[in-house]
């Protein structure tokens, strides 16, 4: 078994904290990054949505073609200052969260395995995990009814990532 570095490309909507997984690869290049940006742009357009701003770091993989994808949708691309990790605090916090709650506890066997694990975690993060920064709401409440604070009744537990994370909901 060999240790290899894998890269995960994601986008976050700051207002809702919703994560969009763009891709996982061993060799991120500018062409791959631009294609992932196009895919995200098409997916958002299908939903009738777009970004107003895209905040990105100064990595060489993010070329003018990457910026043009989002600028074509009307987004303003903002680059973070050099050596200023606090300027990208929301993304840094998500990386810390996914590592602490998920990736530090699982032995990843390859690119496809990492993709599957991160897809499942992003689903939990977006639809099942309350966030303090948005008043204990979930980033994507699609399909979730209003929360009622009634006396506890029967609960049903759903295991995520093979039991690493548990989600609870009221039993019918």
Take residue 107 and report the two structure tokens written for it. 């032995």
| Helix/strand number for the chain, H first, E second | 4, 6
Q: What is the CATH number of the domain that holds 102?
A: 3.30.420.10
User: Given the structure tokens 């050099």, which residue do they identify?
Assistant: 82
Q: Does residue 158 fall inside a structural domain?
A: no
Tell me the pTM.
Answer: 0.84
Tens-place pLDDT, residues 141-154 = 775 555 555 566 78
Q: Does residue 155 fall inside a structural domain?
A: no
The answer for residues whose C-beta is within 8 angstroms of residue 82's C-beta and 6 or more apart is 58
Domain count, the chain: 1
Q: Does residue 50 fall inside a structural domain?
A: yes
Q: Does residue 2 fall inside a structural domain?
A: no
Q: Does residue 59 fall inside a structural domain?
A: yes
In eight-state DSSP terms, residue 56 is E
User: Given the structure tokens 């995200």, which residue do they identify?
Assistant: 40
User: Given the structure tokens 């701003």, which residue do they identify?
Assistant: 53
Range of the domain at 85: 7-144
The answer for residues whose C-beta is within 8 angstroms of residue 133's C-beta and 6 or more apart is 17
Q: Does residue 150 fall inside a structural domain?
A: no
Tens-place pLDDT, residues 11-48 = 999 888 999 999 999 999 999 999 999 999 999 999 99
Q: Does residue 124 fall inside a structural domain?
A: yes
Q: Does residue 163 fall inside a structural domain?
A: no
Q: Where are the beta strands (DSSP E) in 29-164?
A: 53-56, 76-79, 155-160
């Amino acid at each position: 078994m060999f240790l290899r570095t894998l890269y995960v490309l994601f986008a976050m909507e700051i207002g809702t904290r919703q994560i969009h997984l763009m891709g996982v690869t061993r060799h991120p290049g500018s062409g791959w990054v631009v294609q992932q940006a196009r895919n995200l742009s098409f997916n958002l357009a299908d939903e009738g949505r777009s970004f107003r701003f895209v905040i990105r770091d100064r990595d060489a993989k993010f070329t003018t073609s990457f910026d043009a994808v989002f600028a074509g949708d009307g987004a303003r691309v903002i680059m973070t200052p050099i050596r200023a990790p606090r300027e990208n605090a929301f993304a840094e916090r998500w990386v810390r969260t996914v590592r602490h709650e998920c990736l530090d506890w699982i032995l990843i066997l390859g690119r496809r395995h990492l993709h599957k694990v991160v897809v499942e975690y992003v689903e939990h993060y977006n639809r099942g995990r309350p966030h303090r920064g948005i008043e204990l709401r979930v980033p994507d409440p699609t399909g979730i009814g209003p929360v009622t604070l009634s006396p506890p009744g029967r609960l049903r537990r759903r295991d995520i990532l093979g039991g690493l994370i548990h989600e609870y909901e009221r039993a019918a």
